[in-house]
Structure formats: structure tokens, C-alpha cells
Structure 1
Amino acid sequence: MRRQLRPTDVKRLNRTWRRNTGNRLGMILESVTGPFNVGSIFRSAAAFGVDEIWLAGNATPPTNPKAGKTALGTERLVTWHEPVPATEAVKAAREAGYTVLAIELTAEAAPLHRADLARDVCLVVGSEDHGCSPALLDAVDGACYIPQVGRVGSFNVAVAAAIALAEARRQEWQNLADS
């Protein structure tokens, strides 16, 4: 009979995955203003072991009370930086050793599963309404998109961020023996 893992078993399982994780992940949130989206992104970032988040443009900080309702304290587990212009955030991520990739629908974007994410990578998501700005897209090292087959044109920004983070870790872990 299947049963859920107990908290001690979950900690042990997560510790095993952490030991098999060496790549650093970063994120840039450009003008993501919805506090629930910001909180959700921080929660996913903490779950996938993101090291740093740079806020850019007019992004809502995780200290916003509504963001905190969704983040549930996980904003304390990720180093984050106050909002700066998007190109400055890209420059800071690059100086920290990351390859910076926008998650955006552009003509030259690669499908997410074909992008090289199994390295130190900083993933960028843009505003809920307009995505990444032209200036940011000019500044990043590349772009990738999440293939979709349904009748909806795009994902919610927090969902897109979680999918991209999961894919980055999946690529890193794909050749591990089953854990």
C-alpha cells in the first residue's frame, strides 16, 4: 500500500538530491508586479535551490505582504537583490558567473528541453503583460521557450518560472543513477 513519506523521510530524500546537485541557478524577475506571482516564484526558487534572484524594473519585492502569503517564508532562503534596471541585473548575473537565458517567445528562441541548462544558468522571466523588455532581450546570452500544444498562448509567469527551474534541474540530474 502506498503512503506519503513522513517529514524525516522527506528530509532524507531531499538531502540525497542536494548532494547530487552542483550547478548554480539564478533568476531575474523583470517587472513581475503581481505579488502572488512573486511569492510563488520565490517558493519554487527555494524548492529548486536557486542561489540568487535579481529583481529588475518595477518588480514587486518579496517583502510585500501579499507576496509573503504565497512565499510562506521561503524568501528568507534565497538571496535577492533590490530592483535595478534590467540590463544591470543581467550584468550582475554574468559577473557572478551565470549564463543568462530569457524564458521568452522570440524568433530565435530554442525549445526549453533543447536549451543547455545543465550548467550555472540564470533564468529570466518578464512582466505578466509584456514579457521581457527589448533591452533585456538584447542583453541576455540567449532565449528559450516552453513548447505548448493547447489553445492558450502563454503560461502564467510563476508557472513558466517553475517549469524552467524544473527543466534545469532535470537536465542536471538526467544521467544520475535512480535515487
Structure 2
Amino acid sequence: MSTARDTANGSAAPAARRQLRPTDVKRLNRDWRRRTDGRLGLLVESVTQPFNMGSIIRSAAVFGVERLWLAGNAISPDHRNVAKTALGTERLVPWEHAGSVAEAAAAVRAQGLRLVAVELTGDAVPLHDAPLDGDVCLAVGGEDHGCSPALLAAADAVAYIPQIGRVGSLNVAVATAVALAETRRREWAVPTD
């Protein structure tokens, strides 16, 4: 196979790189599923914008979230405007509106999951140091105020996403995707026997 020089680092790069065909993507995803043992849940508190909820659901489906718990005034995944962003993935992630944060946290714990909130607090640890091993449920809060005091009190741990730019926070859907990806990345980084 002929190669072209990658001018950025001088290494040889394939001359013709192409996207995977759908069957190859399915095979690749199946391989990653085989390497995934940890159960992953997601608690969403008071996310009210359909675009954000749809994006969160799509990310949840991508990273194999087994259950989505809604608390507070979170918009329902079956709202027609959520579907515009979720693109059908709202049918792939089981969900329930658990009522209050306390009820949602109890439902999470009843499933044997550790609850880790994603929020900027004084005692939060960087996401890359958070206790994301094993069976875990991430929790995110609403667009305007993040995780409520009740959610923070119910959490077993709190983690934040380190940021080096001049912006104070990420959009809730983006932050959720980052946290879900880090949770799976940590699991996948463990050498297999």
C-alpha cells in the first residue's frame, strides 16, 4: 500500500483513508460491548430544554446507559421536540420519571449503583480521579443552576470536568457526553486478561 507523509509529525499515513461501512461499524461496536462489564446509569435533574434532553439521550444510547432516571421538572424523553435531537434513540434507553431527587437517588441505589454527580463544588474531584469504576450512575443538573443541593447531598461523590479556557462551564448535554465517555474510557483502559 502506498503511503503519504503526514506533514504534522513526519510519520507515514495511509494514502486512502475511508470511513467504515455500516457492517464494519456494527462489528466494531460489538467488540466494544464485549469489553464492557460495568453497569452505567444516568440521573437527569431538571433539564428542561428539548435539544439538551435529546442530546443527552443520544449520548446515553451511544455509551450503553442501561437506565435513565428523571427528577424534578426534567422534560420527558417522549416529548416530540426531544425526538428531533434524539433521532430515535429515545426508544433505546429505558427511562422513568422518579419524582423527587430523593426518590430518584433511592431508585438508583436500589439497582446497586454508586451515584456520582457532575458539578463544580468545593469538594469535587477532577473527573479523571472520580470513583467511576464498577457499577455507577452519573447525575447531572439543569441548564441554569446545575445539580440542586438535594442532589449533591444524595451523591456518593462529586466530580467536575477540568477546563482550561475562559468559559466557566459546559452545556449540560456536552458535559454529560464527556462524563459518560470518561466512565467508559476508564473501564476500557483496564488491561484484559
TM-score normalised by length of structure 1: 0.97
Q: Say which of 133, 137, 158 aligns to 2:173.
A: 158
1:16-165 matched pairs, under 5 angstroms:
16-165=31-180
Letter in 2 for 1:111: P
Q: CA offset at residue 139 of structure 1?
A: 1.0
Q: CA offset at residue 83 of structure 1?
A: 4.5
Larger Rg: 2
Gaps of 5+ in 1: none
Task: Give yes or no for contact 1:33–1:59 (8 Å, CA) kept in 2.
Answer: yes
- Secondary structure, aligned partner of 2:60: helix
Residues 54-91 of structure 1: per-residue CA shift (max 9 Å, x gap): 00000001111111000011011111002410111011
- Secondary structure, aligned partner of 1:100: strand
Residues 30-66 of structure 1: per-residue CA shift (max 9 Å, x gap): 0000110000000000000000000000000111111
Q: CA offset at residue 176 of structure 1?
A: 3.6
Structure 2 CA distance, aligned partners of 1:24 and 1:130?
28
Query: Between Structure 1 and Structure 2, how many residues are aligned?
Result: 177
1:9-20 matched pairs, under 5 angstroms:
9-20=24-35
TM-score normalised by length of structure 2: 0.90
Aligned residue in 2 for 1:3: 18
Residues 111-145 of structure 1: per-residue CA shift (max 9 Å, x gap): 00011212111000001000011111111111000
Letter in 1 for 2:100: P
Gaps of 5+ in 2: 1-15
Higher relative contact order (CA 8 A, sep 6+): 1
